[in-house]
A and B are shown apart, each in its own frame.
Chain A
């Protein structure tokens, strides 16, 4: 009898400890790892951008981004004055641990079509934690090292189901856009800790300026 009681209680304590450790892992450790990884990606971009002339590199830019590699930095003032994250090519689980993921097959940054990006709402640094606070008119600024791209949000956050792939079409469904243009779509999960739905915002390219001209107005305070 004593042996049974002891074994069961030890088991309960073990399971409880495991659960607590797992929550620590999710809430804290994935964030620590992701922040380090994102910082790393941004350092890599800056190192890459400081090599060679911007003009020459822009001219030599390949037609596709290299999968799993960073190619731009995103700034969204609404999510915080210091909020900036690397954008990597692809939306695989491993890629999204290191930054935001660009849907392969959607338009390149600043080009005609729809530049679509996904990011974690929770865990792995919580990049899109405050996604629901985004409002029409908010700026989404990106740089690829040679140009600043300022997008303005037109619609969202729009709640939809995970299979609604039309939201990242070149002319996104439900976005209110009627004709082809230079659009941006951001996606994340909803509810915060669930996966039953997705939150979407859409933006259009408002302005561009070369990096030599300095930060765009949307980033100045």
Chain B
């Protein structure tokens, strides 16, 4: 998978490295902004109230 991405990135090794870094940053950004906040309520750290549910 990672080999496939590496082969399909354009340019020489330096350009490829830079592009991969950007890709990684983009993925981390999406994870922190959208995926983790969504997944977080599924875990038990958020229940601090007493209620009837």
Contact = CB atoms under 8 A, between A and B. Distances in A.
A25 interface: yes
A195 B45 contact: yes
Interface in B1-51: 1-3, 28, 31-32, 36, 39-41, 43-51
Provide the main secondary structure of the chain B interface: loop
Interface string A177-199: 00000000001110001111010
Interface residues of A, number: 38
Contacts of A26: 36, 40, 43, 45
A195 B51 contact: no
Contacts, number: 78
A21 B35 CA distance: 11
B49 A193 contact: no
Contact of A119 (B40, B45, B48): B48
A96 B48 contact: yes
B47 A189 contact: yes
Nearest to B28: A21
Given A10-B1, A10-B2, A93-B41, A118 B49 contact: yes
Contacts of B40: 25-26, 30, 123
A47 interface: no
B4 to A, nearest CB: 10
Contacts of A213: none
B45 A198 contact: no
Interface of B: 1-3, 28, 31-32, 36, 39-41, 43-52
Interface of A: 6-7, 10, 18, 21-22, 25-26, 29-30, 91, 93, 96, 101, 103, 118-123, 128, 160, 162-165, 167-168, 187-189, 193-196, 198, 200
